[in-house]
Amino acid sequence: MKHILYIIIFLLFPVATNADNYKLTASAPSTVETGEQFKVQFTVNTDDASDFTAPSFSGFEVIYGPSTSRQSSFQMVNGHSSHSSSITYTYILIADKSGSFDIGSATVKAGGKTIKSSPLKVTVLPTGSGGSSSRQSNSQSRQHPSQPSRPSDPTGNSISNSDLFITVNASKTHVREQEAVLLTYKVYTLVNLVELDGKLPSLDGFQIQELPLPRNKQFTQENYKGKNYHSVVWSQYVLFPQRTGELEIPALSFTGIVETPNRNMDPFDAIFNGLGGMIETRKKIIAPKLVIHVSALPDKPEDFSGGVGSFSISSSINGKDFKTNDAITLKVNVKGTGNMKLISTPKVDFPKDFEVYDPKINDDFNLTKNGISGVRQFEYLAVPRNPGKYTIPPVTFTFYDIHTNSYKTISTEPYSINITRGKGNSSQAVSDFTGSEVTTLNEDIRYIKTGDSKSIFRGRHYFGTFKYLLSYLLPLLLFLILLAVWRKRLSHNSDTVLVKGRKANKVALKRMKHAEKLLGQNKDNEFYDEVLKALWGYISDKFNIPQESLNKDNISSRLTDHGVDKKLIDDFISTLNECEYARYAPGDPTEAKDKTYRNAVDIISEMESNIKKK
């Protein structure tokens, strides 16, 4: 019945797929060897397709195909159903000669339209040593926590330097100071490399930034010096030379772990012990050193910004008409690729009547193979103090262009602005005793008053008077009073029994508040337990009696000795009995639990006021 129901739902399910969503995708290995068979597949994401036409496969021999396979699936999750289907056309080809070949686009009709696949490029390598299947290293530190430790060969002598090695390559070996250099470490292997550890240390004379690469390393085939290797770019760094001369990048040591078959292991032991018949071999790999020749920049202009690379400059202003004391914001954007972090702040020649603040710098950078690319924005804030017409001249930026090997100066456009008088006095002039004028801006700085000054003495001297003596006696008297109060409180607090008895009421009521929360959460057993803890704990703290020594008889006796009413004692004992009974006979209505809670609170509060201190 279940299968019949699914079939009915599938038949009733409205399939409304837009023809524009149909796609024909092509897949094939990017690299193969001559004489190697490989598979090319074309998949269309619908089962309603026809008139499939394959490309010519020029340069390859078709030994099988096309083979057509269909796939369909139906899924229903939380009442939402989905249906997907596809048709895959498969060919098996073989390459007779090495080179790079293009596989053109295939076509198919679907949804009333003809759709095409993207073309493919396949590189055919000459037959060489090494396997032809692609392999993948999961990460730089792949572990096998679920498998028992395999035997290991710490020497690595079984792996030659031609089976596993690392090359180092610099995009440029002759550069100018501050010019970006891309450093690439690439792994070539004929063995099963499962782990590799090694990192470029800090280098004297270089500023280093590592390019982010995928942690899952995908190896591809590459013909290197007549052999086919599995290769992958392991790490890349962008270097900025900070001084001139021959700067050496020292040889870098890597440690690789390679899995090799253990020919001395019994195959049955390998199967039943889960060892897989493999040995983990540690191999030390040395990447060779490299020397970068760094030349000094030509004589630097006075306005040199420190930028080396390729840059452009632009600017914007927040208006053309302002009033005095308005804020003028000028933004200067330096965009490009190079040593963006080391460029200096361009100088803006604002009019002298403007009050200018330090610029705010905003960076939006990305690390690329050619250096740091992005925008550095300088935001200037200026406040005009006097009305008039002013011109903000162009902002210039001088850098060393690595493409032309020369200095370039670029600039922004000038801005003409009009300043009118705003509210308040923008400036006020006063005359000093020399007849010259001193200007105060916004009255924030006032001119110092000049002329004769007089000292006025009122009354007799303060020293030796009664007020003078009282100013010493009052603080001394206050200190003695505070000292006495502090010593008395210290004496009380040193008596732990007395302190515990005084706080018994607060502790018990705090527990009752917790019991109230448990009551609201319908946790009956925890509620009655907390009420019992509050009642027993109150008596224990009040009379300094350990709880394990308490029982209902000595509680009644002790409360009677302290002058507590007999009715209150009976209510106390009765409440204890109710809680103990309720713990083992659950199911009390809410009214009974509310009553128990109110009785316990009232008893603790009333008992505190009735206990007589001896």
pLDDT category at 588 given cuts 50, 70, 90 is low
- What pLDDT, on the 0 to 100 scale, is given for residue 136? 40
CB 92 within 8 A of CB 80: no
> Above 60 in pLDDT, residue 427?
no
- What pLDDT, on the 0 to 100 scale, is given for residue 387? 93
**Number of neighbours of residue 329 by Cβ within 10 angstroms:** 13
What value does the mean pLDDT of the chain take?
80
Whether 33 and 115 share a structural domain: yes
- What pLDDT, on the 0 to 100 scale, is given for residue 526? 84
Q: Which residue would you say has higher pLDDT here, 535 or 8?
A: 535
The domain tally of the chain equals 4
Q: Name 447's Cβ contacts closer than 8 Å, sequence gap at least 6.
A: 430, 432, 438, 440
384-411 average pLDDT score: 94
User: Within a domain: residue 474?
Assistant: no
Among 270, 295, 320, where does a domain finish? 295
User: Within a domain: residue 398?
Assistant: yes
Whether 266 and 352 share a structural domain: no
Whether 383 and 506 share a structural domain: no
> Above 80 in pLDDT, residue 309?
yes
What 3-state class would DSSP assign to 153?
A: strand
CB 108 within 8 A of CB 45: no
For 168-210, the pLDDT digits (tens) are 999 999 999 999 999 999 999 988 888 898 888 888 889 998 9
Whether 232 and 140 share a structural domain: yes
User: Within a domain: residue 425?
Assistant: no
Among 393, 420, 447, where does a domain finish? 420
Query: Which amino acid, residue 540?
Result: S
Task: Give, in degrees to the nearest 5, the angle at Cα 78 between 74 and 83.
Answer: 20
- What pLDDT, on the 0 to 100 scale, is given for residue 437? 41
For 518-561, the pLDDT digits (tens) are 888 888 788 888 888 888 888 888 777 787 777 877 888 878 87
What 3-state class would DSSP assign to 423?
A: coil
User: Within a domain: residue 448?
Assistant: no
| Residue 20, both tokens | 């524009």
Whether 181 and 281 share a structural domain: yes
User: Within a domain: residue 476?
Assistant: no
Whether 234 and 366 share a structural domain: no
Whether 270 and 385 share a structural domain: no
Give the CATH number of the domain where residue 40 resides. 2.60.40.10
Whether 280 and 341 share a structural domain: no
Query: Which amino acid, residue 577?
Result: N
Please tell me which of 133-137, 378-382, 552-556, 594-598 the model is most confident about, judged by mean pLDDT.
Answer: 378-382
User: Within a domain: residue 469?
Assistant: no
User: Within a domain: residue 447?
Assistant: no
Whether 291 and 146 share a structural domain: yes
Q: Which residue has the tokens 């020399």?
A: 434
Q: Name 553's Cβ contacts closer than 8 Å, sequence gap at least 6.
A: none
Domain limits at 347? 304-420
Give the CATH number of the domain where residue 315 resides. 2.60.40.740
User: Within a domain: residue 491?
Assistant: no
Rounded to whole angstroms, the Cα distance separating 210 from 239 reads 9
Count of CA atoms in the C-beta half-sphere (13 A) of 232: 24
Whether 315 and 278 share a structural domain: no
Whether 399 and 258 share a structural domain: no
Beta bridge partners of 290: 249
Whether 278 and 173 share a structural domain: yes
428-447 average pLDDT score: 45
Among 368, 385, 420, where does a domain finish? 420
- What pLDDT, on the 0 to 100 scale, is given for residue 148? 38
